[in-house]
Structure 1
Amino acid sequence: MFVYRKYLKHILAGSACTTAALLMGFVESAQRPAASYVITANIKAQEGTRFFLSYLYGGKAFKDSTIYQNGQVVFRGQLPEPLICTLSNSQNQQLRIFIAENTQLSFSGSMNQLFDLKLKGGIQDSLYRIYNAGYGQISQEFRKDLEKSGAGRKDHASPAYLRYRERVDSLLNSFVHTYASSTAAALAIIDSYVTNPDRKAAAKAYTWLSNKGKQGFYAKRIQQFSSADVRLSVGNTVPDFNLPDLQGKKHHLSDFRGKYVFLDFWASWCPPCRAEHPMLRALHKKYGDDQIQFLSVSMDSSDPAWRKAVADDQLTWLQLGDPQALSGPLADIYGIKSLPASFLLDKNGKIIASHLRGEALAEKIRTLLGS
C-alpha cells in the first residue's frame, strides 16, 4: 500500500482536488447516474471543421460528428456505461483519447495540440489519469535504474525489473481495491496484465473488482482473456465468429463444420507470421480446401496494409479481416495478444492442437489426412 500512497501523494500535490473528494464524487456519480452526456470543446478552429466522437462497444464501432460553430464544439448523446472515446477532426490528424461518461464534460486547449486538450468533469477519466501518472513515475524510475545497472529492458530477472514489477503490482493492487467499482480500475488491469499478457495475474486482479465493477464492458474483457487458456484447450469447441473476406462477404467459422480447419491469426506487421506463408502456400497447394479448410484471419487495423500483404505473399486461400485487431472482442475471446496464433480444428470445430508452426504443423496435417 505504501507504494501507491507515495505516488498518489506526489501526483495530487498542489492539486485542487483531494483523494477523499474524488472518491466522494465517484460514489455520488454511481448513486445518481446521468441519463446522457454533453461534451463541449472551447478551442479555436476553422469554421466548418467537422469533429468526430467514436468508440467501440460490444463488438461494434460507433461514430458521431458535429460542426465547429461560433468557437465551440458540442456533442450530445448517451453511453451505455463509461467508455474509452476518441475525439478527432477534419482539420488535422490529431486525436484526443479519453473516458467519456453520461455527464457534462468540457475540453479546453489548442487545436494544434488536440492530443493534450484539458478535460473537466469526468470522474472516470480523472481516476484513470491518476493511475497513469503513478505508473509514469514508476516507469521513469525504472529507466533510471536500467541506466545505472546496465540491465536490458527485457531482462525480467534483473533486480531493476523486479523492483519495477513490484512497484507496478503494488500500485495496481491499491488502486483497484480503492476504486473497485470503477471503469478506471478495469482499464488499469487491462494495461498491466492484458496488454502485457499475464493470464494468471489478470485472473487474480479481476477478483479485486466489486460485483458492480465486474459487470462493466472492460471487466468482461479481463474475464474473457484470463479464462482463454481453459476455454481454448484441446478438445474444446472454438468460439464462433462472423468476419468479412476481401470482397466484403461475411463468413461464420461454423460454416466449415464437416471439414478439418487450420485457423491462422496473423498481421501484415508480424514478421514471424509472414515467414510462415511460404510453407502454408505449399500445404494449401498440396491439400487444397477439399480435405482441410485453410482460413486466415488478419488482425490488421489497416485495410490497405492487409490487402497489400495478401497480394505480396500470394495468399490464395480464404482471407478474413478483423479491423478491431488485437483490441477487439475476437482477440479477447481467443486470448490473442501476440502473433502468430493458430488452431487446428476437427470436423466438429473442436481443437486438435494449437500454435503449431513449420514442420510440426505439416507433420500433424499429414497424420490427420493420412498422406
Structure 2
Amino acid sequence: MKKLVIAASLALSGLAMSAANGYHITGTAAGVEEGDTVFLCEMQGFFSMVPLDTTTVKNGKFEFSGDFDGASTRFILPIHNGKNTAMADFLLENADIDLTISDDPKVRPIVKTEGAANKLQAEYNALMAPYDKEMEKPWSIVTDSVSSKEDKAKARVIVDSISDIKKSLNKVFTVAHIPSAYSDYLYVMNGSTFSAPERDIIEKKMEEGHHYYYFQQMLDEKKAEMATAVGQPYTDLAMPNPKGKTIRASEYVKKNKYTLIDFWASWCGPCRAEMPTVVKAYNLYHKKGFEVVGVSFDNNKAAWVKAIAQLMLPWPHMSDLKGWGCAAAPIYNIKGIPANVLVDSKGIIVGKNLRGEDLLNELAKLMK
C-alpha cells in the first residue's frame, strides 16, 4: 500500500523549481554594534557549530552571499565583546533571505524570503502542526517521571500512532515535490524512515531530475565507496608529516608487501583504543614487509604530535590538519574513524576497516 502511495505521489511530481542565482542574506541582530562579527555556521556532531563564513555589522546590518544548490538548516551567530548574543537557525537556499534576530532565545527569527524551499517548508510545517499539537499531551506523560507505568504505556501507544501518521505524511510530501531542494533536504533528514523499495523509487526519480546538494553528495559517496572497495586500486595520498615534509602513501606501498593506511585522530577515543592492536600488528609483521601509514583527521598539530608520542606509534604519519575537511575523507568516503584500508604492493585494496582481531587474523593469513 505504501509503495502505491509513493508511486502515485511521484506521478504528481512537478518540474524542478528554479533557484535564484546564489543566495544573499541580509539581517539585523539585537545586541550587536557597528563592526561586530557575525558568523554563518552549520551544525556538526553534537551541537558543534562550524563557521562557514564571517562578516561584520555595517550600518546596523550584516550580509552574506554565496551559492548552495540545495536547502539546509544554517545558523547565524552574532558576536559582541567576545560573546554570542543570539543563535538563530533558518533554511538556507539560493534566494534573497532577510533575517531579524532577537536576543531572546525563546523568540524565533523573522525570516522574509520568496525562496521556493522556504515556501515548501512553511507548507510542510503547516501540515505537521496539528499532529505536533496532538502529541504534546501524551508526550508529556511519557516524559513525566511521576507518571505511572500504565499511563506511560497508554500514552506511548498514542505517541507512536501519531508518529506513524507523521512519517507517512512526510513520505508523501517528500515524493510529491521531487525534484526540489526541499525534498532533497527532507529525504536526507528522514531517509531512515523509508523502506528499501521506497528509497529505490525516490532515488530513481531524483536521478531523472536536477541533482540537488544532498542527492549529489549521496551519488558522490556511492562512487567513492565503489572506487575504494576491496579489489579496487587504492588512491594515493600526499600530506605533510609532523616535521612539515610532504610524504606520499605510495612511497611505502611500493616498498612493502602490505600497507595499512590508517585513518585516525588524537581526539578520537575509539581510535586511541584501537592503537594497541595496530602497534601489535606492526611489531609482529613490520620486518616481514608490513607497514602502517597514519592519516590524521586532526586540526591541531600539537595535539596530533603529542598523541603520536603518547601512543608510541613508530610508523610514518601525515595530516593536512583540516579535521573532517581532510582530503582523504571524500576520496575514501570516510564518515567515521577509526577506519582503514589494507593495500598490497601492487596498490590493490585487499582489506577494509579491519579492526581488533580481524586485523591480526587477516595479516596472519597474508603474511605466511
Common fold by TM > 0.5:
yes
Q: Equivalents in 1 of 2:37, 2:228: separation in Å? A: 44
Q: Equivalents in 2 of 1:110, 1:312: separation in Å? A: 47
Residue 190 of structure 1 corresponds to 188
Q: Equivalents in 1 of 2:60, 2:300: separation in Å? A: 34
Once the two structures are overlaid, the 10-residue window that deviates more, 264-273 or 337-346, is 264-273
Q: Equivalents in 1 of 2:75, 2:338: separation in Å? A: 28
TM-score, with length taken from structure 2: 0.67
Residue 124 of structure 1 corresponds to 117
Q: Equivalents in 1 of 2:292, 2:119: separation in Å? A: 47
Call closer, same or farther: CA 1:269–1:47 in 2, change over 3 Å: same
Which aligned pairs between 1:285-296 and structure 2 lie closer than 5 A?
285-288=283-286, 291-296=289-294
CA RMSD of aligned residues (A): 4.9
8 Å contact from structure 2 (residues 240, 246) kept in 1: yes
8 Å contact from structure 1 (residues 54, 63) kept in 2: yes
Residue 105 of structure 1 corresponds to 97
Residue 51 of structure 1 corresponds to 38
**1:17-45 alpha-carbon deviations (Å, 9 max, x no partner):** xxxxxx99x96xx34x4334331112231
**1:178-212 alpha-carbon deviations (Å, 9 max, x no partner):** 22122222232323348x99999766642242633
Which aligned pairs between 1:131-142 and structure 2 lie closer than 5 A?
134=128, 137=132
8 Å contact from structure 1 (residues 261, 295) kept in 2: yes
Q: Equivalents in 2 of 1:334, 1:139: separation in Å? A: 42
Which aligned pairs between 1:306-321 and structure 2 lie closer than 5 A?
309-317=307-315, 318-320=317-319
Residue 11 of structure 1 corresponds to none
1:81 corresponds, among 69, 73, 88, to 69
Residue 10 of structure 2 corresponds to none
Call closer, same or farther: CA 1:247–1:359 in 2, change over 3 Å: same
The alignment status of 1:34 with 2:15, answered yes or no, reads no
8 Å contact from structure 1 (residues 96, 115) kept in 2: no
Which aligned pairs between 1:173-212 and structure 2 lie closer than 5 A?
173-193=171-191, 205-209=202-206, 211-212=208-209
Call closer, same or farther: CA 1:221–1:271 in 2, change over 3 Å: same
Q: Equivalents in 2 of 1:171, 1:328: separation in Å? A: 38
8 Å contact from structure 1 (residues 49, 90) kept in 2: yes
Amino acid in structure 2 at the alignment position of 1:211: E
Q: Equivalents in 1 of 2:312, 2:107: separation in Å? A: 39
Secondary structure in structure 1 of the residue aligned to 2:206: coil
Residue 72 of structure 1 corresponds to 61
Deviation at 1:352, TM superposition (A): 1.0
Call closer, same or farther: CA 1:177–1:47 in 2, change over 3 Å: same
Call closer, same or farther: CA 1:289–1:161 in 2, change over 3 Å: farther
Residue 237 of structure 1 corresponds to 233
TM-score, with length taken from structure 1: 0.66
The structure number with the bigger radius of gyration is 2
Amino acid in structure 2 at the alignment position of 1:220: Q
The alignment status of 1:363 with 2:365, answered yes or no, reads no
Unmatched tracts of structure 1, length 5 or more: 6-22, 151-157
Unmatched tracts of structure 2, length 5 or more: 6-12, 44-49, 150-155
How many positions carry a matched residue from both structures? 332
Q: Equivalents in 2 of 1:40, 1:176: separation in Å? A: 29
8 Å contact from structure 1 (residues 190, 222) kept in 2: no
Amino acid in structure 2 at the alignment position of 1:212: G
Secondary structure in structure 1 of the residue aligned to 2:319: strand
Which aligned pairs between 1:90-101 and structure 2 lie closer than 5 A?
90-91=79-80, 92-93=83-84, 95-101=87-93
